[in-house]
Structure 1
Amino acid sequence: MTVPEAVIRPAVLADLEAVAEIYAYYVSHTVITFEQTPPTVAEWRLRLDDLAGRGLPFLVADLDGEVAGYAYAGPWRPKPAYRHTVEDSIYLAPDRTGRGLGGVLLDALLPRCAQAGMRQMIAVIADTGNAASTALHKRFGFAHAGRLNGVGYKHGRWIDTDLMQRALTADPNG
């Protein structure tokens, strides 16, 4: 696959089975998400509906009618003062990694978040020894904002997270 073959578009209900399958792999086999039980398609529908209700993007990378990956931005924290800050989530089908698709998704996600009135985006990256996510975010202007040590426990080990942050508006005052 070359990246230009993928069409980035808003997720629809018909995509959610593939989204659930992609995410289930990472929940079950990795520590890059701290979820321990894969969400059902019904739970993904609630997430899609919630994000749509908030005016936030949920995108898929469509490759010849197949969902090869997805990205969305959700609320960073539930308290109202954080309402202009989002956290990104980007997941690719395990056989679609390493080909630039994550960058295509992030490149599409950023302006849509800005258009939705968001001011800052946070990336929470589990420290798994794989620098791909950190490198991806650095390429798109994210800066290191902190490290949380031993905040997650999964697959028999404690996991750190790195926080990265990027402004979504040119004006630092919003």
Structure 2
Amino acid sequence: MMNYIKSKKQNAVEIRKELLKFIGFFLVLVCISFLCLYLFASSYSKQRKVIEDNIVAYKEVLNKQQVLKPKLDSLFYQMSVMNTDRVSNNAFLANYIYTNIQEVKKVIGKDSAEFKHYYYLVNRLDSMMQLKLEVMNISARFELTKADLQECMGQNRQIRQSLSQDPTRSFSGR
């Protein structure tokens, strides 16, 4: 019977030991589960914040694109009108176009990577404006030279007419 009591005590000690092991493993499992849930929730919130930031950045780029498109269309229309008969003051239009080009560059700003095509077009507009201004200066010089030539031809015609008149015809005799 002593053996029986001793084995009962030993059995109770083993049961208690195994129960404590089980509780320990269960607590570790619960802690790991909560840690996984916490990491999942924090990962979700970080990803959500990154996605929201990307959406905001995309909307900013989209808004800039919606502002830039009509400005560039307007610039190209103004460039096509320049040096034509539809405009009375090309110098004023050129200054206005330069101002608009600077505004477009300001709108593009640091987002030139997103607006490579607009940035390229705006840089080409500068060179096109220089070319148009040179054409405008050359055409102004051409018109001035043409006017000088017309004046010279008129004077030449008058001199020829005066020299071609026979002086004896206007001589009346006495």
TM-score bucket (shorter structure): under 0.3
Relative contact order higher in (CA < 8 Å, ≥ 6 apart): 1
**What is the TM-score normalised by the length of structure 2?**
0.22
Could you say which structure has the larger radius of gyration?
A: 2
Higher strand share: 1
Higher helix share: 2
**What is the TM-score normalised by the length of structure 1?**
0.22
